[in-house]
């Protein structure tokens, strides 16, 4: 059996997840031809097409499905060996499952990297990500033990039992994949997340003031929001750190915001005031904040923290 590199396996696993050259290239911080070449190399090595086009949809071959399982196991083992000893020791004492909430507007790719960073820095704990849209009820989820902490955008639960910590302010951008991008907002489609419809959302207030007569489509996830925009057009409000992922296809553009558009969003870390002692919540906040403040830099730092990829046999 011939050998493949860790770099090829990373690209392959990302492509299995997103099935799109542009998205994988933006996430891996490489050019799309590099992704295509990596997949071609892997096809030559494995002597398998890996993906087949059925009615315009790329579907993995049975071998690709098996290869993904093996690749993820190899990458997990490699991270255990490659990460520094002091990082492995953080939080390695009493492990438990930690439930972390996220506002969907943070974006699936960034949430994925935050979870990856948490797994790397806290090997003694397991993590489960939960989507949080009802900001006003988060204190109830803390009290019920359904969440240990949450990374939230804008609206903050001001209950005495909740501790809100301000992580950062980030620009909010307006993007569209429409061919015709006129300046007027009237009669245009807005693709929103459920959190945008909360009464405390600045976007809700903006739309009620200015374009209440336009059509709104509310979707359950960031990935659905972007996919619908690409297929049907319309406006999408997104956070600034997600712009490279959305505009990498060359078809989506950032628009000049209209008057009174809420151009800034605030990202908070929320945790219960009576937090359990065996969950390092403030350390979790710092790890997540380092990714949120500069996702591309965090990805690059994680890559540089590991030695150059050696050859690893595919099993």
The most confident of the ranges 89-93, 276-280, 304-308 is 276-280
Check: CB of residue 204 under 8 Å from CB of residue 216.
no
Whole-angstrom Cα distance, residue 167 to residue 155? 13
Flag the least confident range among 92-106, 145-159, 177-191, 218-232.
Answer: 177-191
Among positive and negative, which fits the CA dihedral 302, 306, 309, 311?
Answer: negative
- Which superfamily is assigned to 171-264 in CATH? Periplasmic binding protein-like II (3.40.190.10)
Which of the listed CATH numbers 3.40.50.620, 3.10.20.30, 1.10.3720.10, 1.10.10.10 matches domain 3-82? 1.10.10.10
Mean pLDDT of 145-163: 82
Mean pLDDT of 275-287: 84
The CATH number of the domain covering residues in 92-169+266-302: 3.40.190.10
Cβ count near 179 (within 10 Å): 7
Mean pLDDT of 261-280: 85
Q: Number of C-alpha atoms within 13 angstroms, CB side, residue 222?
A: 21
Residue 92 confidence class, pLDDT cut points 50, 70, 90: very low
Residue 33 confidence class, pLDDT cut points 50, 70, 90: confident
User: Where along the chain do the CATH 3.40.190.10 domains lie?
Assistant: 92-169+266-302, 171-264
Picking from 112, 101, 97, the residue whose alpha carbon sits closest to that of residue 147 is 101
| pLDDT the model gives residue 2 | 55
Q: β-strands 189-193, 162-176: how paired?
A: unpaired
| pLDDT the model gives residue 157 | 56
Q: What percent of the chain has pLDDT over 90?
A: 13
Among positive and negative, which fits the CA dihedral 17, 22, 23, 29?
Answer: positive
For the cut 60, the answer to whether the pLDDT of residue 6 exceeds it is yes
| 186 compared with 47, residue with greater pLDDT | 47
Buried b (16+ CB within 10 A) or exposed e, 11-46: bbbbbbebebbbbbbbbbeeebebbeebbebbeeeb
The DSSP result for 251-304, as a single string, is S-EEEPPPTT---EEEEEEEEETT--TTS-HHHHHHHHHHHHH-HHHHHHHHHH
| pLDDT the model gives residue 150 | 92
Averaged pLDDT of the chain: 79
Cβ count near 79 (within 10 Å): 17
Mean pLDDT of 255-267: 87
- Token pair for residue 77? 């083992």
């Amino acid at each position: 059996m011939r050998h493949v590199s860790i770099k090829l396996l990373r690209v392959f696993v990302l492509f299995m997840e997103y099935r799109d050259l542009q998205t994988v290239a933006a996430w891996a911080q490489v050019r799309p031809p590099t992704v295509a070449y990596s997949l071609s190399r892997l096809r030559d090595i494995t002597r398998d097409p890996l993906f087949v086009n059925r009615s315009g949809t790329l579907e993995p071959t049975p071998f690709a499905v098996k290869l993904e399982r093996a690749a993820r196991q190899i990458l997990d083992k490699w991270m255990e060996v490659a990460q520094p000893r002091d990082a492995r020791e953080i939080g390695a004492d009493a492990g438990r499952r930690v439930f972390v909430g996220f506002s969907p507007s943070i974006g699936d790719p960034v949430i994925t990297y935050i979870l990856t960073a948490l797994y790397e820095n806290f090997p003694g704990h397991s993590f489960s990500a939960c989507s949080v849209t009802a900001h006003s009820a988060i204190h109830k989820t803390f009290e019920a033990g359904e969440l240990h902490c949450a990374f939230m955008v804008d609206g903050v639960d001001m209950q005495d039992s909740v501790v809100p910590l301000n992580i950062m302010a980030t620009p909010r951008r307006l993007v569209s994949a429409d061919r015709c991008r006129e300046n007027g907002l009237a009669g245009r489609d807005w693709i929103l997340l459920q959190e945008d419809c909360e009464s405390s959302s600045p976007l809700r207030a903006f739309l009620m003031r200015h374009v209440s007569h336009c059509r709104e489509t509310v979707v359950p996830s960031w990935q659905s929001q972007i996919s619908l925009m690409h297929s049907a057009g319309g406006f999408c409000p997104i956070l600034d750190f997600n712009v490279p992922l959305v505009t990498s296809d060359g078809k989506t553009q950032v628009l000049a915001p209209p008057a009174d558009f809420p151009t800034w969003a605030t990202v908070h870390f929320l945790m219960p005031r009576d937090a359990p002692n065996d969950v390092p919540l403030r350390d979790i906040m710092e790890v997540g904040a380092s990714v949120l403040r500069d996702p591309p830099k965090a990805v690059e730092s994680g890559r540089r923290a590991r030695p150059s990829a050696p050859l690893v046999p595919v099993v």
